[in-house]
Amino acid sequence: MIRFAHTEYLYALYFLPLLAIIFWYTYRIQKKQLNDFASSKLQKVLLPMRSGFKSVYKFIIIFAVFILLILALANPQVGSKVEEVKQVGIDVYILLDVSLSMTAEDIKPSRLEKAKHEIALLIQRLRGDRIGLIVFSGEAYVQFPLTTDYSAANLFLNAVDVSSVPQAGTAIEPAIKLALNSFKKDAETKKAIIIITDGEDHEGNITGIVEEAAGNGVQTFTIGLGSPTGVPIPLYNNSGIQTGYKKDMYGNVVLTKLDEFTLQKIAEAGNGKYYRSSNTDDELELIYKDLAQLEQTEYGTTRITDYEDRYYYLLFPALILLFVEFFISNNKSKFFMKFEEADSNEINI
């Protein structure tokens, strides 16, 4: 199996036809200027050693060198063997609150955007661990299941906003239940749940489901976003322009407050920790350091192909051709006598 490690360099091959056209054009111009200056018989007298074919031959060599160098830069690789590699890590489900209160801007640029940024940074740090994302508001949905495809995870993460779950509310309990049911039952990996929310307007027996998770060996961490004193919830139109703040049925501005007490209870019952989010700190990084202390478990194998670089197979011939081209003079030679005669009879490129 052959592949190129840096396929972006192959785009340079598109410029080679342009190089050939430029050479052809300049060659024809020089030929015409020389014919306008003197007849072919007079040229043999004035320039007895001049070779028209040598310039064509040297260009062909340079053209081949460019091709070889471009292919060498792309670094062709040969798959020497296929191996089975053990996959080792932990399973982590992140439960992200996408209720309207998460648009509050007491944490910049907003609670939700700060959370998404931290999750994206966490995904960049993962090495072999499986991560899944559940979004919740009045209901909970799996945004993406446990995966090691971190590129796909980032794509799904970018699509998350407050419209991801149309039902209003903060249904933490159904989100935890969904995470427990979404863990792979046959996998003996260490498991953890990270809840990112303001904890407001929660429903159900959260402590009970968290204790059930802890009984099954699942640690639960919580990250609280927002201000305990409360801030208004901004409203925007379709153009992204703020139109005001959310109000209740009596016309009063609604304040959203961080419920730290509930989140601390959840973390305590789940054998985890509670972190309060800020504008500067990366709370998920702190949690990831805690998770790194968990014993990593083998959860499967994957087949990979071991590739070896072969760029030097192209680089060495390119250097040899450059060396040869350097020592080829522009004068006529016996070796190219046939071509010299053809050139004197007007070679058409």
Average pLDDT over residues 199-223: 86
* Lowest-confidence segment of 14-23, 257-266, 296-305, 325-334 by average pLDDT: 296-305
* Lowest-confidence segment of 27-31, 41-45, 98-102 by average pLDDT: 41-45
- Say whether pLDDT at 51 is over 80: no
Average pLDDT over residues 217-238: 90
Average pLDDT over residues 195-220: 86
**How much is the pLDDT for 347?**
42
Who's near 270: CB < 8 A, 6+ residues apart? 193, 210, 211, 213, 214, 218, 219, 220, 221, 222
Confidence of residue 188 (pLDDT cuts 50, 70, 90): confident
Which residues are paired to 276 by β-bridges?
Answer: 224
Asked if residue 270 lies in contact with residue 220, where contact means CB atoms within 8 angstroms, the answer is: yes
Average pLDDT over residues 297-314: 68
Q: Pick from 218, 178, 183, 175: which is nearest to 199 by CA?
A: 175
Report the side by side order of strands in the sheet with 76-89: 2-4, 76-89, 297-309
Q: Pick from 246, 139, 267, 255: which is nearest to 192 by CA?
A: 267
Average pLDDT over residues 172-185: 90
The full set of domains in the chain, from first to last, is: 2-75+310-344 (no CATH), 85-302 (3.40.50.410)
Who's near 307: CB < 8 A, 6+ residues apart? 3, 5, 77, 78, 79, 80
Phi, psi of 188 (to 5 degrees): -95, 25
Over residues 270-301, the pLDDT tens digits come to: 999 999 988 877 888 888 888 777 655 555 55
**How much is the pLDDT for 85?**
47
% of the chain beyond a pLDDT of 70 = 80
Can you say whether residue 89 is alpha, beta or left, with left for phi > 0 and alpha for psi between -120 and 50 degrees? left
**How much is the pLDDT for 336?**
53
- Say whether pLDDT at 128 is over 90: no
Phi, psi of 322 (to 5 degrees): -60, -40
DSSP code string of 186-238: T----EEEEEEE--TTB-S-HHHHHHHHHHTTEEEEEEE-S-TT-EE-EEE-T
- Say whether pLDDT at 42 is over 70: no
**How much is the pLDDT for 330?**
66
